[in-house]
Structure formats: C-alpha cells, structure tokens
Structure 1
Amino acid sequence: MTERVVPGRADGLITLDAADALWGGLTAGGAVPTASGVFTRSPATRARTGYVLLGSRVVATARAGGGRWGVAEREVRRAAAELNAVVMDRRDLVRVGPFRGAPEPERDEETPLRWRWRVAGELGEPGGPGRGTRHEDGRPCHLVGIDWRRLLVEHSSDGTRRTWWLPRAVVRLLDAAEYAERRWLRAARISETGTAVAEPSSHPRRAEDADGRRATSPEGPAASPRPYGRELEGQLYSVLSRKPGISQKVAGWVCAVCGGAPATVLDHCHEHGYVRAPVCQSCNTRERPDHLYANDVRVANRYTRLFHTDADDWLRHWHRCTGCRARTTLPLPHLAAWTAFIACRSLRPTHRAPRGREPCGTLCVSWAGSQNAPRSCLFTVTVDFCPAGEHRVLARVSYREAAERFRGWLAETAPAVAAASGPDRLDGLPAQPRPVVVDPGGEGLGLF
C-alpha cells in the first residue's frame, strides 16, 4: 500500500499520494470526518522544509530523489491515531462566526492557518479571504485534514442573520493546530538562523551543540505556555487591548479556566470592564450567554458545567473581575441564568421518560431594568414549548433577591471564592503592622 521514496530509511518515507491513501484509510472509522487530498497540494516550503497539519500535529515533509516530496509513514500513523482518539459530541457546539466588529487577523501572524478567517471567507462573510481558501480547482479547502463542512451547523434566529457553529472538540483541535504550527515555525526559524538546532519532525527534539552538550530547542519547556498568575488583575480591557503585542503576550499563557489548552483571547467582564484572565477560545465561548434577544438568555444544559460540575473553577474565574468580586455577584446575564438554573430548579415541570422524569421544554430567563438600578430590575423565568402550556411563567425574582440568594449559594458551593469577595477586603494592607519606633532625629514618632 505504501510506495517507498527512500529505500532502507528508518523512518520510512512514502510519497504524498500514498500518504493520502494511508490517511484516509486510517481515519475512516473515526468520530471526526477527514478530507481527501491532504498531502497532494504543494507543501509549504518554509524554513527549508515543508509540513502538513494533521489534526493538532505538525508532520514534516522532505524532498527526496527526483524532486518528489515524501513524508514519514510513522508520523502519519501517529497523527491518525491521535485524531481517532478524539471524542466528539455533535450537540456541544461553539459559535465560530460571524462576529460583528471582529478585527481582521494581522498579515504578519506567525501561523498561516488562521482557521476562523478561512472559515469566514469560504462561507462568504464580508472581509474574509474569499476564494483564497479554496483549492486551485475550486474545491473547498480542508482544515488540518478535517472535512469541517460536514460538521458545520448553521442557525438563523430571525430568518436573516446566520450564525455558524462547530463541535467544541473540533474547535479545540483547530486551536491546538494553530498553536502547534506557531511553535514549529518558530523553532524552524531559529534553527535556520543558527541559534538553535531543531530537527525537521513533528516534534523538534534537543540536539547536541559543538561542545557535545545537550541544547534545549525552542520546543522545550522554555517555549511552553506558562500558567496564569494574576498578572493582569485589576486592569481595564479597553486600555489593555490597545497595547501593542498583547496578542503575543496572551498566547504565552495557558487557559486560566481549563488549564490545558493555550490561551487565545483575553476574557473580560462586559459589565465592569475589568480583565479576568487569558482563556482558550472554547472556554471563552462556553461562558458566553446564549442570548435570544438583548435582554434574555436561553438556559441550556451547558450551564450544568458552569454552575454544577466545574462551578468552583468558573466562579473563581468570574470573580477575577474586581467589580464582581467587590459586589459578590455575577454579571447580569450570568446572574439571570443562575437564578433560572439553580434558584428556580425545583419549579421547573417534568414529564415521564424511559429513564425516569425529565425537565419539560426550554428554560429561559429575561429581565427588565438594569443592575445599575437594582430596585427596579426584575428577572422572569419561563419555560417555552412545555406540554402544560406553550409559554409558562415559573417565577419572577427581583435582582436584589437573586443577588442575596446567590451570595448564600456561593458561600456553600465555593467558600474560598466567597471569602475572597466583598467590599471590605483591603488587599494592599500588609499582613503584619509595621513597628513604630522612636525617631532619633526629632521628638515625634517615625513610621518605618
């Protein structure tokens, strides 16, 4: 099945046509559908060697005899095994566009993938790359070997405005591919200038320097993203987002919520304007309220992770905002969703199901007024498409009552977060008072 390009080579180079057939055969039974023709396009020729993105893995290509390109069969099999191990829930979706006012990515970015920009261009979003995302023969382009069009879900809320969604597992995969490509190109660039040695493989290893010692490549721990340590706490997003180089700085951190994926965006509180932390795109989308209109939220099952399974992590993240932490509350849409999902859980009707009783209809919450006028702000929790009634009101809760109930729930669910909240916290004061000693230069007391 595999046509050898370099006989007897240890890593077993095969032609790109053979690699295409191998990739398709190995990934045929996986959860993520793959595309054809992954290798047969002209490979990139950056840093003296080409490469192909397969899933979240960078697979290097090499020019062999006769001017043909080849790829290590072992690396193709590894990439296929990693992709086949991905568990995907097609119902757990992440919005990938279009976003109004989203800036176009810079042309000098280190990664050529820019998959969101490519998706926007192929689907016809204004400002996208247009036909630049297609093959020369007009076929839609693949992304990291994935046939993403088979996974794309399109929603239209009012019949005119479309939104595009992909499974969360695929979004994480594409984000990881962008990060892997950026690191690979950076290592190749440093290797080309002679400041480090990086092998042309999917994971450049350490190499020996002239003295025979082991030199760490840019792919080592020094280039890995570091955990976020509250470096941006208390800063305003409107100021910080305009600083040059902030995107590269954010990419140097690990997501402050999941702690696994590299950070891609700077999450901030839309109510108070303070920066929370750098997060990955998946976590940033997960906590974004699912608005039907400007003043209501659809409370779906994803709030189970926000307010139950991973509640401690998300509450700590939301309270990285100085305003929310001082008021011991959440932004208005999140507090409204919490009121519907937690405070009014016992009021939601249920119906019989094969595995017991299940909640009826679609849970929604709307509000009238603003958090800036808490006396007049009112939450209305409803169930739509309920068998007992097409539109059923479950409860009406004032903002003040919801905030008070949230504080009590916070103290029980995340006591450490609750203890760090409140307007009476003075973080700037020292833990121990400074000693007062006699000032030898005068009659008074000096504070040192």
Structure 2
Amino acid sequence: MAQISPRLAHTYFAEISADSALPLDPDDLVHMVRLHQQGHVVIGDIAIRCYKNRSKWTYDERDIRRAAQAFADFRLDPGDVVEFQVPPYRERDDQDPEERGRADWREKVASWMYWNARHQHQEQRHCEDRDDSWQRIGAHGLPGGLTWEEFTAACSGRRQNIASTRPLELMTRSGGNLFLPRAYAELLDRWEQVTEDLVASARTCSRCRAQGPPWGAWRTPSPLGYVTLCPPCSGATFQRYTGHLRGVLYGSARRRSTRADGYLCRLCSESRAAVWDHCHDHGLVRGPLTELTREFLQVRGPFR
C-alpha cells in the first residue's frame, strides 16, 4: 500500500477528476473534518479511509485514484431533473438529539436558505417589526422574501459544500420551483446512507458492542487511528490519573517518558486521554486530556 499525505492526495484527486461533470471541492481530503467521528472522508458516495502512520494521517494512493476516476467518469443528463422542495423550518431544539448532525443534504441546503432569509428579514425591518415570516416559503420558492438571485449572490465566495460537492452550481430555477439533475440528487441520497453506515459502525464499542452517541464521544486515539470504547471498557483498560506529575515541567524528561494515552481523561474519567495539558504561564503539567476536551478548553479556558 502506497501511503500519501493529505496534500498529495488532494493534488492527485484534483488532477484526475478535473473534467468531472460534478463541481467538486475535495478540500476535505486535507481538513479531514469527520476524522474523529468515523475515520473516513466521504466524497460523493465514496468513503475514503484515513490511515495513521508514524503519528501522521495518510491515504492509500489507490483509494484516491479510484475515487477520482469515478468522478471523472460521472455523467449527468442536464435534461433529467428532479424538483428540490425546501423542507419546513425546524428549530434545532425541536429535533431529536439523534437527528442533530445527521447527514441530510436537503436540510443542509435549506439551512443556507433560511439563514439568508432571516438575515435579510432582520436587515429590512426594525426590531419591533420582526416576526417569523422569514420561516415560510415565499412567492419565489425560497423562505421569506428571498429571491434566487439574492440567495446565490449571498452565497458567492462561501464554501457551500455537501459531500465535497457544490450543489448550488447545479441547482436551476423555473418559475417558483428549484431543480437538480436526477443523477446528482441520487448521488447525494447515497452519500447520506454511506455516512450513516460509517457513523453507526464507529459508534459501536469495539469490545462489548454497546452503542454510543453518534457524535463520536466514545472515540479514542490509538497508534493506528481511532477506536471506539465505551466508558466501562475504557475504565477497565486505562488507569486513572492520580496527580503523580503534579509540579513537573511539561518539557521535562519525566513527562516525555510517560504517555498520556495510558490514562483516562482527567476531566471526564470515561475516555482514553491523548495529550498532556499544561499551564502556559508556568509550564507545569495539569493532567491528561482527550483531544476534544483540550480543543474545548482552548476556547473556554483551562481547568484548575
């Protein structure tokens, strides 16, 4: 297996798929935004596995070339279209927790429309005149008073991406109706299923087969990538941190010889740790954390 870096994978993919009928945006090959959740980058309906090699993430070059060639060969019939109907507006709090973050391309496109409709509504009215009219489909087939021209202009320059493709470039309008090529809509339907299957597999504890949350809270790093362990299985495998490195400098040999991934996260005590957190003012070790916890603390501030 020839392993290549994310940037080289992006270069190969872009070169091979350059003449694709689909407007592709393969930047996710570099950003790997779902890596922690399910260990793959999904482009269209093709899941490309990510590998960990010597602490760096890589791809199998054959996977990249096969996926790119599939999109180079993809065919669209511009005359064979299906109507895109904007789903009704739903508040996030009204959604089942299991549905939040689920792959749903129609809801994703609609969320862009509702966001722009709301923004336009707020700009055009005083605070006391604002209502929920922006949530209702208007005369132009879009939410509120938003027109297709206003919507596409507002989206210009933004990374409006689904399944590493740009759906707005293929969407057309006739009267008050919106349309997409049938083959593309079917591709996005398959993307939903592929993504759901990956998430379902990745949320299953690799030891006891219990089902965890879909957003990857049970995922823990390992030398070969991420594995899924429930809190009881993690507790039985890794030790709790008891503060034995208190007062030790982060850069000391003692810290460097002690791996953080042998411990449970100091804060949640449920998942395997990945990194040592330390005080940036004094340079002292504070404790082992998961990668997600450390990212959260970088935004919210450190624990004491």
Higher relative contact order (CA 8 A, sep 6+): 2
Please, what TM-score do these two structures have when normalized by structure 2?
Answer: 0.48
Larger radius of gyration: 1
Q: Which has the higher strand share?
A: 1
Q: Going by fraction, where is helix more abundant, 1 or 2?
A: 2
